[in-house]
Amino acid sequence: MPATAQAQPPAREQQQRQVVVPNNPDEPIPEVRVAANTLTLFRFGSALDRASVEIEGRATRFRFVDVGERTIVLELAVEPDPEERLIVRVRYKDGASPAYATFALVSHPTLVDKEVEVMRRPRTLDALEAALAEKDAQLAALRAVSGPAGLVFSGRLNLDGVQARRLMVPASPRDGLKVTSGEGYRAGPWALAVFRVRNLPGQKPWEPGEARLTRADGLPVKVRSVDMNRAQLGPGEEGLVAVETETPFWKADETLRLELLDKSGSRHLPILEVKL
């Protein structure tokens, strides 16, 4: 045997095993035994966010990487050092806890993990009750913010109150749309124009995409939002369209011009006499 010949490493026993993703980030990261020129298949019980996969040394240390809907296949090109740990991290799509699965790829002299089934540990009753209590608190806070109290908390309702009035609406349809009624609301920090719009029979579905509001002198008024109480209006259907503006800087009896445009910009609905 030539003096430069080197002994080949012994063949490693290939195993199938399960690893459990810890719920607590302070728990040790599971280790998976890998070897150069050997494929290791990870199977997950839930769909993965494929764009989130992080593999340490992916560009330089691996010959093959494939990320599927519920699988990851890896093949190292270079054997890890005995004390080396290459970290793999991926996020689940379902948003359940734990949200991430993290592993350390390590070398073992006699074993290699050919297939790895990745499991999430069932959460304890105490953990589930704590998570439920947290969700209940978040829901209660959301309800408070979205109700009348939320208007006060956010400063959108104050001692100036709200002034309401009926708005004039066009008598004739335009682009297959008919405005049947209108209301205006004005408070210190905002104003709101609300119209009931009917998409006439035989027309294509309609939904508002943009609102343009201008004063009589042509000065534009900033529109904060355009919303409707339905996703879209089918032929013959009606819905409420709400247009919210910035803090009113015009007089209450001043006439504004409003123009509603659909998502495509092809159907225009002008409302010429809007007083907010």
The share of the chain scoring above pLDDT 90, in percent, equals 60
The share of the chain scoring above pLDDT 70, in percent, equals 91
The pLDDT score that the predictor gives to residue 2 is 47
pLDDT for residue 93 is more than 50: yes
Please identify, in words, the CATH class of the domain defined by 162-274.
mainly beta
Highest mean pLDDT among 15-29, 55-69, 118-132: 55-69
The pLDDT of 149-168, averaged and rounded, is 82
CATH 2.60.40 assigned to 13-120 = yes
Look at 258 and 124; give whichever has higher pLDDT: 258
pLDDT for residue 70 is more than 90: yes
The pLDDT score that the predictor gives to residue 7 is 46
Distances from the Cα of 184 to the Cα of 33, 92, 129, 166, 181, angstroms: 68, 46, 46, 6, 11
Other CB atoms closer than 10 Å to residue 126's CB: what's the count?
Answer: 8
The structural domains of the chain, with segments of one domain joined by +, span 13-120, 162-274
pLDDT for residue 3 is more than 90: no
Alpha-carbon distance of 13 to 23, in angstroms, equals 30
pLDDT for residue 27 is more than 90: no
The pLDDT of 57-62, averaged and rounded, is 92
Alpha-carbon distance of 272 to 258, in angstroms, equals 6
Look over the chain and give the mean of its residue pLDDT values, rounded to a whole number.
87
The pLDDT score that the predictor gives to residue 6 is 44
Q: How confident is the model at residue 54 (pLDDT cuts 50, 70, 90)?
A: very high
Look at 125 and 167; give whichever has higher pLDDT: 167
Q: What is the pTM of this model?
A: 0.49
pLDDT for residue 249 is more than 70: yes
Spatial neighbors of 157 by CB under 8 A, at least 6 apart, are 148, 151, 187
> pLDDT tens across 190-212, in order?
999 999 999 999 999 999 989 99
Do 209 and 243 form a contact (C-beta atoms < 8 A)?
Answer: no
Q: Is 13-120's fold the same as 162-274's?
A: yes
